[in-house]
Chains A and B, each alone.
Chain A
């Protein structure tokens, strides 16, 4: 039985359908992420799991038991809030002791557990400090320690890294994964950052307009997006729109105006004549000097329009013969060489038939 089960949950705010018939199952021990743009309903769903909001329809089950009549304070579920929500009038140790005191533990055991929690988040020396004396990252750790200290069945994290700067965020990501493994508690993580979701999660549910678009592990989500929204939201992707001309067991051919026919191993289930798009990741597109012999099924001449140099890799934006732009990613692996092509250079771009996913309209 799944630890958390969400069955056909719907939540309306006036005319707005915030959560629209969502069904999900989270297994014990998972690092499960709800990913989507702001306003997609992920935070509303999280608040319903925590108990701060009630579904208009559907049910939420924990260990198979319906949670509808259980108020938040009685649920074995804790939340790490985006703003941390540390109690400003309590020290770090008092903040962490709060859930233990509410649970009525004896003082000696509370002290022991608070110490263990402080060690878990590497804040042993800060026990007597007040929240306003801590840095953003330290507050974040206290909030985590406070939510984990009395071992909830489920930990909800509402964009907990949103307020941190990029470097600290990356550090905390690593720590979060380690912490989740160490305590073995199931995490349900909410974020709008696809890179964060890919880095942290064992499974991701991509949400859009109150609905779940796809639930998969990060690598499948990235390589096998089920629709245009997921393909576009997760990472960068090139979309080549056209019409299916032939589909067989081994793949399909897509006619793209101005480019001719594209060969793909995907899309075998599509009927000829339907509109479809091939979605190809920039790192799957090879780029070389004009006239270079690239033994790949799909090959086009192009001209470099622009490039984005970010240090480790450079993304080249190439104008195709039909006027469309194609992104190609090239790692800057050659020592002492920052880029391979200049704006205006004539190039060849190509990708194999195996690359990309065929998406129906």
Chain B
């Protein structure tokens, strides 16, 4: 018994301490940072004043600013809108492709999956700049549309892969049974394939939706200065205005908002699955 427990710690211990050290601890540091004053030249002001008149200690100033101006809520709403649109576009584009791969000959599937992830082999920024060349002549650059095109392009594989993994596991005899019992192709899809693929849709959606909120390069390159999302604001706080407490606060608010959306989505999904 004791040796089994020791083994469990031996296997589970390192990743556990890694997560505590490099994930939980930094998250707590962010909480504290969001409650401090900004330093004169970036960074954080000391907790204890070192000279008279210096702002030191803890304050809820960043949160007061956040909740006193609608502009932040608007940017959050806009970001979630962009993320939702990107997720939806990815889903619509990825589903037929994932289905095609899942129903192809087993010998060809691995090659097709390789082709899906192949774009990752070239540099992210190069691929985004390439879109400037494509969209420029059509006068579509520096618009919300361009941002979403870029986001969909970059995130599509993250939707295709979980969908494919799910669809590939479906037992083809279920479709035979549905057809045998009177379902045409349309109904076979909506009554059997689609509901069974919901777990794949949810994991794909999570893998696209959450990272999109934090992306700043695509809005900056393809969207221009007016199309900021939360990611740009956080980046600007740390690197532009060098207001670390404000940036920390924005990050935390984003985490809270994402958790709220994810919680609501999984609750709704649970209800939908029960009904289906």
Seen from chain A, the residues whose Cβ lies within 8 Å of a Cβ on chain B are 50, 52, 71-74, 77-79, 81, 83, 85-90, 98-99, 102-103, 146-147, 150
On B, residues with C-beta under 8 Å from A are 171, 173-174, 176-184, 187, 191-192, 195-196, 273, 276
Q: A81-B173, A85-B171 are in contact. List 11 more A-B contacts (CB 8 A).
A: A52-B179, A72-B176, A81-B177, A85-B174, A86-B177, A88-B174, A98-B178, A99-B181, A102-B187, A103-B182, A150-B182
Rounded to whole Å, the gap between the CB of B5 and the closest CB of chain A is 32
User: Within 8 Å CB of B176, what residues of A?
Assistant: 52, 72, 79, 81, 85
Q: Is the CB of A73 within 8 A of B192?
A: no
Residues in A whose Cβ lies below 8 Å from that of B191: 87, 98
Q: How far is the CB of B197 from chain A (nearest CB, A)?
A: 10
Bound complex: CA of A150 vs CA of B181, how far in Å?
A: 9
Question: What is the minimal beta-carbon distance from A58 to any residue of chain B, in angstroms?
Answer: 22
Do the beta carbons of B195 and A89 come within 8 Å of each other?
Answer: yes
Q: Would you call A88 and B177 a contact (CB within 8 A)?
A: no
Contacts of A85 in B (CB 8 A): 171, 173-174, 176-177
Instruction: Check A78/B174 contact, CB under 8 A, given A89-B196, A89-B276, A102-B187.
Output: no
Measured in the bound complex, the distance between the Cα atoms of B185 and A73 in whole Å is 9
Alpha-carbon distance A99/B184, docked complex (angstroms): 12
Cross-chain contact B182 with A73 (CB below 8 angstroms):
yes
Chain B minimum-CB-distance residue to A72: B179
A146–B195 touching, CB < 8 Å: no
Q: Which 10 A-B pairs have the closest CB atoms?
A: A102-B182, A85-B177, A99-B181, A85-B173, A72-B179, A79-B180, A89-B195, A73-B179, A73-B182, A102-B183
Distance, CA A81 to CA B181, complexed state (A): 12
Q: What distance in Å separates the Cβ of B176 from its nearest Cβ neighbour in chain A?
A: 6
CB neighbours (8 Å) of A102 from chain B are 181-183, 187
Smallest beta-carbon distance A93→chain B, Å: 13
Contact B183 A73 (CB under 8 A): yes
Residues of chain A with a CB closer than 8 A to B180's CB: 50, 52, 72-73, 77-79
B202 CB, min distance to chain A CBs, angstroms? 14
- Asked if A79 and B196 sit within 8 Å, CB to CB, the answer is no
A88 to B161 alpha-carbon distance, docked (Å): 23
CA distance A72 to B188 in the complex (A): 13
Measured CA separation A98–B173 after assembly (Å): 15
Contacts of B177 in A (CB 8 A): 79, 81, 85-87
**How many whole Å from A77's CB to the nearest CB in chain B?**
8
Contacts of A74 in B (CB 8 A): 182
Bound-state CA distance A98–B182 (Å) is: 9
B181 contacts A78, C-beta separation under 8 Å: yes
Cβ-defined contact, A89 with B273, below 8 A: yes
C-alpha gap A147/B273 in the complex (Å): 25
Q: Considering the complex, give the chain B residue whose CB is closest to the CB of A156.
A: B180
B173 touching A147, Cβ below 8 Å = no
Tell me which residues across on chain B come within 8 A of A79, comparing CB atoms.
176-177, 180
Assess the A99–B182 pair: CB atoms within 8 A.
yes
Q: Which residues of B contact A78 (CB under 8 A)?
A: 180-181
Minimal beta-carbon separation of A253 from chain B (angstroms): 55
What residues of chain A lie closer than 8 Å to B171, measured between beta carbons? 83, 85
In the complex, A83 Cα to B174 Cα: how many Å? 10
CA of A86 to CA of B192, assembled, Å:
11
